[in-house]
Amino acid sequence: MRISRLLTDYAIAFFLLCSLGFVLPRLLPGDPFLAIYGEEAALSMTPEMKAEIYRRFALDQSWGTQFVAYFASLLRADLGWSYYFNAPVGKVMAGFLPWTILLAGASLLISTVGGFVLGLESGSRKGSRWDKGLFAGLMLVGGVPDFFVGALLLLGFAVIWPLFPLGGAVTVYGGQAGWAWGLDVLRHLALPLASLVLARMTTLYLLCRNSAALLLKAPFLRTARSKGCDEGSIRYRHLGRSVLLPAATSAGLHLSHLFAGILMIEVVFGYPGMGTLLHRALAARDYPLLQGILLLASVTVLGVNFFVELLYPILDPRVKTACISNTERS
Amino acid sequence: MHIQYGKKLKSGPGLLGLYLLIFWAAVALAGFFLTPYAPEAYAGKAFLPPSAAHWLGTNDVGQDLLSQLMAGARTSLGVAIGAAFVSALLGALLGAGGTLVGGSVERLTVRMMDVGLVIPPILAAMLAAAYLQPGSFTLIGILAFFFWPGTGRLLRSQTLLLRESGPVTAARTFGAGRWYLLRRHVLPDLAPVLSAAMIHDARRAVFLEAGLAFLGISDPLAQSWGRMIQQALAFTYLDAWSWWLLPPGIAVSSLVLAFALIGTGLEETHAAD
């Protein structure tokens, strides 16, 4: 019952998201071809190519037929043709995706572990000077938009004090291999990664701090203490375990914020991932590419959230009916 | 439990947030007629450092940056307040209203909210904005469209509690209609939840407005802090960043912080009740 309802919700959401990409360009006045591909693309395409696109997306047919053609091509993972790169959108994205996956994976891991540890340490000493300082500091950092954190780090550690490279993912024409190449990648990764972790850690920190503080007087902690467990083991093995699962699910549910942050941070550092690609697509008005990037991001978020919601009652048996609170889902 | 608003935000972080918000509201209001130069006009030489004539200096084409900052405050606060209000209106109408009406209307609105909550608002707003290249009013519409399910869900759970509460049942036995119940008994008690949701939405709207402008997904003619930061980033090799990049960045951050602080302050007063 619950699962089927959840599945319907996500199916409708998926359908609506995909339809956005169909409806929006057609809301604009004029030829759908021009709205979907933009004038620059129309000028640069050969007549045969135009005819091919008309045929594939049934642009000269009724809206109903167009919609079916649009959806059919989406399901074939055919996202259209990027005129700017003169290649299929899927292929262009595949070239930029690995860097984004590296950045996303590393920042998700570090900000989750960091937020968890700091939140636990802070919450289990609630009211102390340590806790207050950390709370105020992270609240302050959490209010700064991702791209401004990135801009500040760029200015501080690449412009004024040139510890790290200004941008990119590897030194161009560096000709490095093996360990030197790996080190070069890490040096380029450091600043974008640090910006993302700083900007994204606060949410999880606050969540862990609150749940830890609420549990401080729980009987099972008193039991552990009276058994003679040392503080470290109480904090991590007893208190930590109860905080861990909501923390892990929250990390999954905030994936959309992380993705949006990545898109912007990549622009700041010229990191060659999806964000930079999006920026170029926008500048060139390459709409199919733009739509492909944002659809991929939102569908990934949708998929991960669905998975998390399915797993939620299994991960945390205390929650019989998985009801993830509203603020968590936003 | 009708709450006295005068007593709120009298201390600590909430008050600080309120002062920050008042400051930016004043700057935004002044931005309507008191900008020293027209924000898009050529006002002096390029890359002038701050001086008496240009308090925040000029940018690469000689536009006055203080004027741009003030016009940006107008956009940012306008979009935040607009989005928060429209989202609150939709949330109250569909979340609280639907719950009071009950039956198939309730089922429909609940399903709408459930589906809406699943859609990631930031990414969906980016997709919509990329096509529509929105000015402020369209942007408010887009943001409210993706924000309201959160507000609606909060209001619904509160309304469910209120629907079964003493005063409402009593009024109903006296023959009060739905509209009367909503206006007289439910809406006033929804106010604390509603205000918290609006503050939350306003904060996200400031964030998103700046972010979209930073990525270049907005009306290219609108003044925006996000756009200022984006333009300034291209000139990090010059000293201009200290008067071009830092002020709008600090402005966005402090406005986001103001809403966050007010939100925390409101939560604390609720917890104390």
The domain limits of chain B are 39-272
**Helix (H) or strand (E) segment spanning residue A8:** helix A2-27
Q: Give the DSSP letter string of B51-106.
A: -SSSTT-B-TT--BHHHHHHHHHHHHHHHHHHHHHHHHHHIIIIIIIHHHH-HHHH
- Indicate if the pLDDT at residue B90 is higher than 80: yes
> What would the pLDDT profile of B134-178 be if each residue is shown by its tens digit?
788 889 999 999 999 989 988 888 888 887 787 888 888 888 877
* 8 A C-beta contact, residue A199 and residue A144: yes
CA distance A240 to chain B (A): 25
List B residues 139-168 in contact with A (Cβ-Cβ < 8 A).
150, 153-154, 157
- pTM score, whole prediction: 0.84
Residues of chain A with C-beta less than 8 angstroms from the C-beta of B207? 145
Say how many residues make up chain B. Answer: 273
* Paired sense of beta strands A81-82 and A87-88, if any: antiparallel
Q: Note the pLDDT tens digit of each residue in A215-228.
A: 888 888 888 888 88
A146 vs A203: CA distance, rounded Å: 13
CA–CA distance, A209 with A71 (Å, rounded to integer)? 45
Listed residue (A140, A154, A249) closest to A194, CA to CA? A154
CA distances to A38, A289, A298, B47, B216 from A283, rounded to whole Å, are: 12, 12, 21, 25, 8
- Copy the structure tokens of residue B58: 């000029």
Q: Residue A147 and residue B229: Cβ atoms within 8 Å?
A: yes
A44: tokens are 């640069």
Look at residue A39 in the predicted model and tell me its pLDDT. Answer: 67
- Label residues A45-77 b or e (16+ Cβ within 10 Å = b): beeeeeeebeeebbbeeeeeebbebbeeebeee
pLDDT in tens, chain A (330 residues): 678 888 888 989 888 888 887 888 777 666 667 766 766 666 777 777 777 777 766 677 777 788 888 888 888 777 877 877 888 888 888 889 999 999 999 999 999 899 999 998 888 888 888 888 998 888 888 888 888 998 888 888 888 888 778 777 777 766 677 788 888 888 888 899 999 999 888 888 988 888 888 888 888 888 888 888 888 888 888 888 888 777 777 777 788 888 888 988 998 888 888 988 988 888 777 778 888 888 888 888 888 888 888 877 776 666 554 444 433 433
User: pLDDT of B3-14, one tens digit each?
Assistant: 555 455 666 778
Instruction: State the sign of the Cα–Cα–Cα–Cα dihedral B148, B154, B156, B159.
Output: negative
Q: Which of A310-324, B60-74, B196-210, B218-232 has the lowest mean pLDDT?
A: A310-324
CB B113, CB A9: distance < 8 Å: no
How close A161 gets to chain B, by Cα (Å)? 12
Restricting to A residues 144-173, those with a Cβ less than 8 Å away from any Cβ of B are 144-148, 151-152, 154-155, 159, 166
Contact A151 B249 (CB under 8 A): yes
Q: What is the pLDDT of residue B9?
A: 61
Looking at chain B, which residue has its C-alpha nearest residue A291? B127
Give the chain B residue nearest A278 (alpha carbons): B215
Whether residues A13 and B118 touch (CB distance < 8 A) is answered with yes
Residue A321 φ/ψ, nearest 5 degrees: -100, 115
Mark which residues 182-201 of A lie under 8 Å from B by CB. none
Q: Give the torsion through C-alpha atoms of A32, B128, B142, B152, to 10 deg.
A: 120
Total residues found in chain A within this entry: 330
Tell if the CB–CB gap between A145 and B124 is shorter than 8 Å: no
Q: Report how far Cα A316 is from the mean position of its chain's Cα atoms.
A: 24
pLDDT at B10: 64
- The one-letter code for the residue type at B111 is R
Q: Which of A157, A159, A168 is nearest to A103 (CA)?
A: A168
Q: CB contact, 8 Å: B18 with chain A?
A: no
Q: Say yes or no: A211 contacts chain B, CB-CB below 8 A.
A: no
Alpha-carbon distance A90 to A88, whole Å? 6
Q: Which residue has the tokens 């759970």?
A: B157
Sign of CA dihedral A24, A30, A36, A40: negative
Residue A87 backbone dihedrals phi, psi, to 5 degrees? -155, 165
Q: Which one of B131, B245, B257 has the shortest CB-CB distance to A143?
A: B257
Which of A69, A23, A281, A70 minimizes the C-alpha distance to B132? A23
Q: Which of residues 228-257 of A touch B (CB under 8 A)?
A: 255-257
Q: Helices A240-253 and A89-123 meet at what angle, rounded to 10?
A: 150
Instruction: Answer whether A63's CB lies under 8 Å from A308's CB.
Output: no
- Which among B118, B121, B132 has CB closest to A305? B118
**Helices H / strands E in chain B, number of each:** 12, 0
Q: Using alpha carbons, select from B235, B256, B258, B255 the residue that is nearest to residue B245.
A: B235
Q: What percent of chain B has pLDDT over 70?
A: 93
Is B117's Cβ below 8 Å from some Cβ in A? yes
- For residue B171, the distance in angstroms to the closest alpha carbon of chain A comes to 30
- Using alpha carbons, select from A213, A25, A329, A120 the residue that is nearest to residue B127: A25
For residue A120, what are its two tokens? 């636990």
Contact status of B129 with chain A (Cβ, < 8 Å):
no
Chain B positions touching A267 (Cβ under 8 A) are 214-215, 230
Q: Which CATH number fits domain B39-272: 3.50.50.60, 3.40.50.2300, 1.10.3720.10, 1.10.10.10?
A: 1.10.3720.10
Tell me the CA distances in angstroms from B8 to A279, B13, B17, B185, one per residue in order: 44, 12, 12, 21
